[in-house]
Amino acid sequence: MIRVAMTGVYVDDVARAHAFYTGILGFETRVHRDLGHGALFVTVGAPEGAQPDLQLLLEPGRGPIAEPYRRALYEAGLPCIVFAVDDLRAEHRRLRTLGVHFPHKPQEQGPVLAAVLDDTVGNLVQLVQPVG
């Protein structure tokens, strides 16, 4: 059986992204390796995640492919990734008190309640909660 083990998000600054995704969003560090020459390999995952855990790779978003791709998504208002939460309204309040900017406040979108936040490192991230 094939399973998703890791997915990536291009970010402006891996160290700053690591601080935001762990300190603000609440993910836990899975891997943090210094590759030398200022390069880091960093993955995060859900707290107390079951093994095998889906990991999010915080990838450097510079270069001829990553930078235009990331910028185009952001300028179009499209999230680069979607995270599920149990109580979107409570999470929205918690994150706003921590200074997180939400370009799109919680609203129903078909089968989910959804909101979009700015991750401070070049991306929009969608949070969803199933409704019903």
Tens digit of pLDDT for each residue in 71-97? Answer: 999 999 999 999 999 999 999 999 999
Range of the domain at 106: 6-130
pLDDT given at position 51: 65
Whether 58 is in a domain gets the answer: yes
Average pLDDT for 16-36: 96
- Rounded CA-CA distance 44/65 in Å is 23
User: What backbone phi and psi angles, to 5 degrees, belong to 58?
Assistant: -90, 100
- Residues belonging to the chain: 132
The CATH number of whichever domain residue 55 belongs to comes to: 3.10.180.10
pLDDT given at position 3: 87
If we measure between CA atoms, which residue out of 50, 69, 54, 53 comes closest to residue 11? 69
Residue 27, pLDDT > 90, answer yes
pLDDT given at position 38: 86
Q: What is the pTM of this model?
A: 0.92
Average pLDDT for 13-18: 97
Q: How confident is the model at residue 1 (pLDDT cuts 50, 70, 90)?
A: confident
Whether 39 is in a domain gets the answer: yes
Q: Where are the alpha helices (DSSP H) in 20-114?
A: 66-75, 88-97
Quick: pLDDT tens for 28-67: 999 999 999 989 999 999 988 666 679 999 999 989 999 9
Domain count, the chain: 1
Whether 29 is in a domain gets the answer: yes
Whether 20 is in a domain gets the answer: yes
Whether 93 is in a domain gets the answer: yes
Whether 104 is in a domain gets the answer: yes
In contact, 58 and 11? CB cutoff 8 Å: yes
ω into residue 60 within 30 of 0, thus cis?
Answer: no
Whether 1 is in a domain gets the answer: no
Whether 72 is in a domain gets the answer: yes
